[in-house]
Amino acid sequence: MVENTAISRNTYDQVMLPIYAPANCIPVRGKGSRVWDQRGKEYIDFAGGIAVLALGHCHPALVEVLKQQGEKLWHVSNIFTNEPTLTLAQKLIDATFAQRVFFANSGAEANEAAFKLARRYAITHHHPHKTKILAFHHAFHGRTFFTVSVGGQPQYAEGFGPKPADIVHVPFNDLDAVRAAIDDDTCAVVLEPIQGEGGVTPATVAFLHGVRELCNQHQALLVLDEVQSGMGRTGKLYAYQHYGVQPDILTTAKALGGGFPISAMLTTDSIAMAMETGAHGTTYGGNPLACAIGCAALDIINTPEVLEGVEKRHDMILHALEKMNQKYGIFCEFRGKGLLIGAELKVEYHGKVREILQQVVDQGLMLLSAGDSILRFTPSLIIPEDEIAEGMARLDRAISRWLNK
Ligand SMILES: Cc1ncc(COP(=O)(O)O)c(C=O)c1O
């Protein structure tokens, strides 16, 4: 295959807004859980495009739907509806608590819609001052100004002028803090069942049940951001299904399109009715191409074969990490659920995750961080077992080199 050699990593520094610091290689091809860069170097992919590629790269069934729908109808706007949108909405409803669906294109947009809906519902059903949103330190909900302000990482929200108001942050998994902060002016409590970017921290069962109870007491909506934890990542379609707690609104994105941009906000009939024609919208949301691919991804992910395989792969990664830690002793804790796994470095190595990730890429592995002290694993849900073993061997070599440099 002839690659475009005029394009190099240096081109990035010349033409792109300098908001990312991408690795030095440029991936050009992927298949399953393997990726090749411009120079033909091969990588095992434990990052999955940040928890997006639940079925790996270029899954044949998704490619087939992409081709078929691509020859048929890509986009009509919401001036018309379309068959794939309605089919995917029905599938999501059948598989969850939801009765109504709104489609958008990214996690942030789904959350933006969720927060607007929560406020609109409280204002129209209760009183005009019921606008407080309760959220959590270290949470991540996206980068639009509303979502980044609800997120609990102030460094991302500062420096852009006045922020959306009436958002209060409390420590995650601290029910007393929620109890102290929630009141009858609270319209919603927003949380990730497993904080992803913020450090791979699962909500405890008692915490999520307690928050649900407090929401009921104060007529606040429970909004679960399952952009990262959803679509099979934890071994159930959505992480809330492990807890026995139902949200009022749930957002989903990333793996919903298996790599094609699409997101959704799910809610109930009565909450949805707070919105009327024209109250919210998006040009691309619910386009037939994205929704057709979403249907195929959901049909494959929401099966016992795929969901049951998640736990087995989790155990393989954990086992390898524990063995590695007996050798190197650099980790203090392994956290997460299913194939959303965090390995926290011991205090003496805090802040060193980028150095490790540099060695990791050199060894032919794609891996993520969460903050500056946690390695994060979000591979394909169907990554073959021998590729897990090979990827862990590459991680072992990377850590050994990093320690001995
Ligand atoms: C929990 C969570 N919510 C929202 C987002 C934002 O999604 P997007 O980048 O698609 O806007 C992310 C992205 O990492 C996320 O992990």
Identify whether the C-beta of residue 57 lies closer than 8 Å to the C-beta of residue 32. yes
Asked if residue 395 and residue 309 are part of one domain, the reply reads: yes
Q: Which of 302, 317, 339 is the last residue of a domain?
A: 302
Q: Which helix (H) or strand (E) holds 382?
A: none
Asked if residue 80 and residue 23 are part of one domain, the reply reads: no
Q: Say yes or no: CB of residue 196 within 6 Å of ligand 1.
A: yes
Domain with 285 in it: what CATH number?
Answer: 3.40.640.10
pLDDT at 4 over 70: no
Q: Tens digits of per-residue pLDDT, 77-111?
A: 999 999 999 999 999 999 999 999 999 999 999 99
Asked if residue 229 and residue 257 are part of one domain, the reply reads: yes
Q: Which of 272, 302, 332 is the last residue of a domain?
A: 302
At residue 281's C-alpha, the angle toward residues 186 and 96, to 5°, is 65
Q: Which of 302, 330, 351 is the last residue of a domain?
A: 302
140 an active-site residue?
yes
Output the CA 230–ligand 1 centroid distance in Å.
Answer: 11
Asked if residue 318 and residue 183 are part of one domain, the reply reads: no
Q: Tens digits of per-residue pLDDT, 32-69?
A: 999 999 999 999 999 999 999 999 999 999 999 999 99
Q: Tens digits of per-residue pLDDT, 332-347?
A: 999 999 999 999 999 9
Rounded to an integer, what is the distance from CA 374 to the centroid of its chain? 16
Q: Say yes or no: CB of residue 112 within 6 Å of ligand 1.
A: no
Binding residues: 107-108, 140, 143, 225-228, 282-283
SS3 content of the chain, % helix, strand, coil (to 5): 40, 20, 40
Q: Which domain does 355 fall in, by range? A: 9-59+304-404
Asked if residue 186 and residue 94 are part of one domain, the reply reads: yes
- From the candidates 97, 102, 140, 172, give the one annotated as an active-site residue: 140
Asked if residue 193 and residue 255 are part of one domain, the reply reads: yes
Binding residues for N(2)-acetyl-L-ornithine: 143, 282
Long-range contacts of residues 19-25, Cβ cutoff 8 Å, at least 24 apart: 23/361, 24/361, 25/361
Q: How many domains does the chain have?
A: 2
Output the CA 71–ligand 1 centroid distance in Å.
Answer: 30
Output the CA 57–ligand 1 centroid distance in Å.
Answer: 20
Asked if residue 77 and residue 47 are part of one domain, the reply reads: no
254 an active-site residue?
yes
Asked if residue 41 and residue 90 are part of one domain, the reply reads: no
Q: Tens digits of per-residue pLDDT, 139-183?
A: 999 999 999 999 999 999 999 999 999 999 999 999 999 999 999
91 an active-site residue?
no
Model confidence band, residue 5 (pLDDT cutoffs 50, 70, 90): low
